[in-house]
Structure 1
Amino acid sequence: MESPWRKIGWTAGERNKLMEEITTYKPSLKSVPQVRILFLGPVGAGKSSFFNSVNSTFRGYVISQATAGSDAKSVTTQYRTYGVKYGSNGKLLPFLFCDTMGLEEKQGAGLEMNDVSSILKGHVPDRYQFNPSAAMQPNVPGYIKNPSLKDQIHCVVIVLDGSKVEILPEELEKKLREIRRQSKQANEFDVPQLVILTKVDEICPSLLEDISYVYKSKVVEKQMQLTAERLGIPLSQIVPVKNYYSELDLRDDVDILILMAVRQMLRLSESYLDNFPLDESSVVNAKERKMNNLSE
């Protein structure tokens, strides 16, 4: 395409502007010091690699913290929450990435659907060991019986391999649609969702040399439209990214796509927090919210 279908500035100044917006962000509720962003997706889609890429962008050099791989089975077997640090002083940013076992086509393998509901509601502790054949039960050690708003998920990110959208197995598509349904029913308000398409540089030859052509690529646009149709999600809630995997140094164009994705997550998380009054207590449940609304 001659003209991009999403207009972005691909300059160091734009990168710095995005960085400033994210590093100065603060959740609107005092009871939520860090918004929680849950990552879900098929095995090998690039969930952990995306976290590592975000961490690299904010650290100023390529780094790996979350274990990433390309095995047929999920490398991640625990529920993990990762903070992101900014710069050499290690300032912790006000958002947490929540990593999970990957989704698998076969029943009884990969992340259990009932575990997704427990995570969304805030019952699952950090380092919980997933059991693909059985969902987490309330009697499991560490189970959070009365989660507060800060323990709950504020935004769900579905990570998909952009080069495999058209061959996404039917059973996986059903699981992803079920996740969308659960996100709408987990709490009183819908948990907003964002889809990240990774590896877009592998589906369009011109992007291998210059990722800034991403929004001029008809192939990428087609994959995003197909994703919107298959998952029933608005195109505005789908963003493409390229993860760092072979590079030794950071690139402004790669950083810009990563930072735009993170900014969108924060905006969606903030829209979720907007549902709650500013004087929200640390313990939140539907009954208390209704009582508060009646008393105001």
Structure 2
Amino acid sequence: MRFSIVTTSLRILCLQNDLFFLGRFKLKLLYKASIHGFTGAAFHQRCDNRSPTVSVGYNNSGFVFGGYTEQPFSQSGQYVNDDQAFLFTFDGENLIKYPVTNSTYAVRMMANSGPYFGETLVLVNGSQAVTYSNPGNYYNFPAAQMHGNDLNMTECEVYEVEGKSWRTVIWESEKRKELIEYIKSYKPTVSSVTQPRVLLIGPVGAGKSSFFNSVSSVFRGHVTSQAISGSSSTSLTTQFRSYSVKDGREGKPLPIILCDTMGLEETKGAGLDIDDLSSILNGHLPERYQFNPSAPLHPEAHGYRTSPGLKDKIHCVAYVIDASKVSIMSTGLEEKLDAIRRKVNLMGIPQLVLLTKVDEACPLVKEDVRNVYKSGYIKDVQEVGSRLGVPLSCVVPVKNYSEELELDMNCDILLLSAVLQMFLSNGPELWILLHYCDF
């Protein structure tokens, strides 16, 4: 259970698969009219300067309704802008939301009333146990659907929403520019390794090739598709490929190489062969090596690197996991991932998890990718990192470009943050430095 709450009706309402507050949270009761009084003074004494909040009204007809705002209450008498505000009603089974239509007048701070949403819905109106309802101004809703036209209140509660976002992200164009500049100017400490190599490993269709295409798109300035990607029951990647991301179409290579492998499949003799993994990690595999699941690479194979340099080795492993399929991952795939993790751990190579297709996993993220760190479902899925021995801080949700024709700033920020994580938190440079003396 994610939170505890006093009111049974609201508790049921809040369990509607994250449709209410967009994620993992808990509610702190600030004001309960039957205890503290049906007055504006009692409401403001307990709720002013608190945010975000959800205000809930109840009537004898059994309706549960109210509103949400991210702005703190006050007694200024002024309207405040809040483009995240919405009204809602709950019929015991379904939650219906009515978003603000004119955010400039989302909430009004009236001293003698309770929660006051525009001129549209007021709970504890004029310090009385009644509701004021005037749909059409700033919020639109059918009155019969909202409260059954029963304006006499039996209860009013206001809750503060705590822990609304479980990871802080700045969704601004300046942040995107900052991330791009950092990645472009990054210089590894060891001069012999100008481009750390990151190996992408994951089940068929998880989005390994799409991740490279998406990162490349960010730096080229338009959606592009260099690596073969798509949907298939078997791996579309059949060769070992090393992709260097360029700053623009003819720009210089960026300080990172993304290495693509054949996808993992649960059945034996299909997909990436675990025995090939050691050769990949140690840098023995030649470029465009054709994977053969039934016959791993041998030292006699054409192009086999017998004495790979430090620059040829893998410096970081990124597990690419489809967020929408974590809960149904087969035992066979889990066993393969566990075997891979053990091999990577023995070599001391840093690891992270890329959670792809977050928009397919959660409808709130599909609606707005900025909800990714508000989604309780994505938060729960993030714990797949513990099954792979990866800290939660090294589990990074991303949204690859698939159907889009234009770049999206918010998708770019997630993708760039993932690349930054490959540089920083997972310590590929530390691994390089620790092994530098061997060469």
Name the TM-score, length of structure 1 as normaliser.
0.90
Secondary structure of the residue that 1:7 maps to in structure 2?
coil
Aligned to 1:253: 410
Counterpart contact for 2:246–2:252, Cα < 8 Å: yes
Aligned to 1:151: 312
From the CA coordinates, give the structure whose radius of gyration is larger: 2
Structure 2: which 5+ runs fail to align?
Answer: 1-22, 24-160
Q: Aligned partners of 1:33, 1:217: CA distance in 2, in Å? A: 37
Matches within 5 A, 1:13-24: 13-24=174-185
Aligned to 2:202: 41
Between Structure 1 and Structure 2, how many residues are aligned? 276
Bigger proportion of residues as helix: 1
Match of 1:203 among 361, 364, 367: 361
Q: Aligned partners of 1:16, 1:274: CA distance in 2, in Å? A: 29
Bigger proportion of residues as strand: 2
Q: Aligned partners of 1:60, 1:228: CA distance in 2, in Å? A: 32
Percent identity reads: 53
Per-residue deviation, 1:88: 4.8
Q: Which amino acid aligns with 2:259?
A: C
Counterpart contact for 1:173–1:231, Cα < 8 Å: no
Q: Aligned partners of 1:106, 1:91: CA distance in 2, in Å? A: 41
Per-residue deviation, 1:171: 1.1
Aligned to 1:222: 380
Counterpart contact for 1:51–1:66, Cα < 8 Å: yes
Match of 1:123 among 276, 284, 287: 284
Secondary structure of the residue that 1:163 maps to in structure 2?
helix
Match of 2:434 among 275, 278, 292: 275
Match of 1:178 among 339, 361, 367: 339
Q: Aligned partners of 1:249, 1:6: CA distance in 2, in Å? A: 26
Q: Aligned partners of 1:154, 1:133: CA distance in 2, in Å? A: 27
Counterpart contact for 2:274–2:336, Cα < 8 Å: yes
Greater RCO (CA < 8 Å, at least 6 residues apart): 1
Counterpart contact for 1:14–1:256, Cα < 8 Å: yes
Match of 2:240 among 52, 70, 79: 79
Q: Aligned partners of 1:89, 1:116: CA distance in 2, in Å? A: 33
Q: Which amino acid aligns with 2:406?
A: D
Q: Aligned partners of 2:435, 2:267: CA distance in 1, in Å? A: 38
Counterpart contact for 2:353–2:385, Cα < 8 Å: no
Per-residue deviation, 1:276: 4.5
Q: Aligned partners of 1:200, 1:256: CA distance in 2, in Å? A: 14
Q: Which amino acid aligns with 1:48?
A: S
Match of 1:194 among 344, 347, 352: 352
Counterpart contact for 1:194–1:238, Cα < 8 Å: yes
Q: Aligned partners of 1:50, 1:183: CA distance in 2, in Å? A: 21
Q: Which amino acid aligns with 2:417?
A: M
Q: Aligned partners of 2:276, 2:293: CA distance in 1, in Å? A: 9
Aligned to 1:6: 167
Residues 108-159 of structure 1: per-residue CA shift (max 9 Å, x gap): 1111001011100110011001110011000001000011111100000110
Residues 60-95 of structure 1: per-residue CA shift (max 9 Å, x gap): 100000000211110000000001001254221111
Q: Aligned partners of 2:259, 2:196: CA distance in 1, in Å? A: 10
CA RMSD of aligned residues (A): 1.3
Q: Aligned partners of 1:166, 1:99: CA distance in 2, in Å? A: 25
Secondary structure of the residue that 2:215 maps to in structure 1?
helix
Per-residue deviation, 1:209: 2.2
Matches within 5 A, 1:226-245: 227-245=384-402
Name the TM-score, length of structure 2 as normaliser.
0.61
Q: Which amino acid aligns with 2:372?
A: V
Per-residue deviation, 1:40: 0.6
Q: Which amino acid aligns with 1:215?
A: Y
